[in-house]
Chains A and B, each alone.
Chain A
Amino acid sequence: MKSLHSIGKYFLMLGQVFRKPQKRGIFKDNVFKEIEELGLKSIGIVAFISFFVGGVVAIQTGLNVDNPWIPKYLIGFATKRSIILEFAPTFMSVILAGKVGSYITSSMGTMRVTEQIDALEVMGVNTLNHLVLPKIIATVFFYPFIIALAMILGIFGGWVAGELTGLYSVDDYVDGIRLDFKPYLIRYALIKTMVFAFLIATIPSFYGYYVKGGSIEVGKASTKAVVWTSVVIIVFNYFLTQMLLG
């Protein structure tokens, strides 16, 4: 019953979020601020993880493909497919849910408990529109670039791993990358990313905006926000995969 109440409250929140911004100039500034906070500041961790996980995926595949009848270019092919289809859009989104989600909930939760949101309300500001919509715009339109970067760096990580370990040749790896290239799969991954970005912006905002109490409650809300965002991403991933590829 409580969960149903929360889901209803979440959709009512979205109703207030998707309103015309009260002042276009302020809204534009907020969007750029959020692109910096939620997007640009996440590039480092995304790049680091993508490069190394890409390398590990390629090494693992290489170690498990020791049958002489299986061509070595399949290592590059498998690495590319797993990075584009799942690792970059889903795995990276779960990581971003942790990093960005906790930031959103704790910053909004702190604004709530220190009455900064009340101060905005009293001024006549639509606080949900003012605080949440820029986050949605920033993540939904910027995360596809981050995930595209994760794909490139992941595949590059596999290439470097081949060079360093000698498990497979660079030529075989590149042949595998070029094999059966389907642009639709990139589109599928970016559509998933945009849906996940929406969830990463809105679920933690919901937990932060409606927090009650003090610093401990803000901490608890951050944890809940990260857990639920990750769970919802995984569930949506299942349905989106079925819808778009099934």
Chain B
Amino acid sequence: MIEVSNIHKSFNDQLVLKGVSATFKKGDTSLIIGSSGSGKTVFLKCLLGLFEPDQGDISYDGRHVIKMSTKEKRELRKEMGMVFQSGALFDSETIEDNIRFPLKMFTNQSEEEMLDRVNFVLNRVHLENVNKKFPAELSGGMQKRVAIARAIVMNPKYLFCDEPNSGLDPRTAIIIDNLIQEITDEYQIITIINTHDMNSVMEIGEKIIFLKDGLKKWEGTSQTIFKTDNEDVTEFVYSSDLFKKVREVYNKD
């Protein structure tokens, strides 16, 4: 379980997170939603230890990040997988080398074992015959799938995704969402996704946290989000005509 309590983070004089608390459980896919500038990415980077909160506490299964040394943080990170918004694949290396890198760095597996594992995860994200290609040779959706493969190659306990389907067409976005959901269920990991995509909310929103101006304004599920009276949430959710129509359908039901 990941427990976040009352974290604050500021940059220069700007307070970006103003005391956010949340709990994330094993086997759950949790979504952090909110408009651009709401503090979603900073929140995720605080969880990953890329930013150090000014105040508050984060604990991973009882291990408190704030009290950890840099070395202990690095050990903890070996249990994490991260899918970046841009994919963040190493562009000068082949897909195979990208995925093999964590195995090479942190395990003593033989070349054969590593190749088997690479092929296994590539197969898991439904990619074939891409081993020797470079990231630039793949489409955006394929790059995201490679990023997911690299994130799960070490069997992480915690999976983080920063806007995993941004820049993708709706169909590919749904494929990526479902893939993350399947992996979470299959490996019983804790998955936290940053998104502002309402399609993702509907597809995989088991638990949803809504951030606005660095504060947690609402928490619920994909079922309750369309019924809430919270003004901040309704303003965000029904900013598009499509979801206004969804609300009408919900209200009729």
Contacts and interface: CB of A to CB of B under 8 A. Distances in A.
A227 interface: no
A52 to B, nearest CB: 33
B48 A125 contact: no
Interface size class of B (residues with CB under 8 A): 20 to 34
A121 B77 contact: yes
A183 interface: no
Interface in B76-107: 76-78, 80-82, 84-86, 88-91, 101-102, 104-106
Contacts of B241: none
Nearest to A117: B88
A116 B86 CA distance: 9
B85 A115 contact: yes
Contacts of B160: 122
* Dominant secondary structure at the B interface: mixed
A22 B88 contact: no
A45 interface: no
A25 B100 CA distance: 14
Nearest to A123: B102
B67 interface: no
Nearest to B101: A123
Given A121-B50, A122-B80, A123-B77, A26 B105 contact: yes
B104 A23 contact: yes
A231 B86 CA distance: 36
Interface in A97-129: 114-116, 118-119, 121-126
A36 B68 CA distance: 38
Given A118-B50, A121-B48, 16 more contacts: A22-B105, A23-B106, A114-B91, A115-B85, A115-B88, A118-B45, A118-B82, A121-B50, A122-B48, A122-B77, A122-B160, A123-B101, A123-B105, A124-B74, A124-B75, A124-B106
Interface of A: 22-23, 25-26, 114-116, 118-119, 121-126
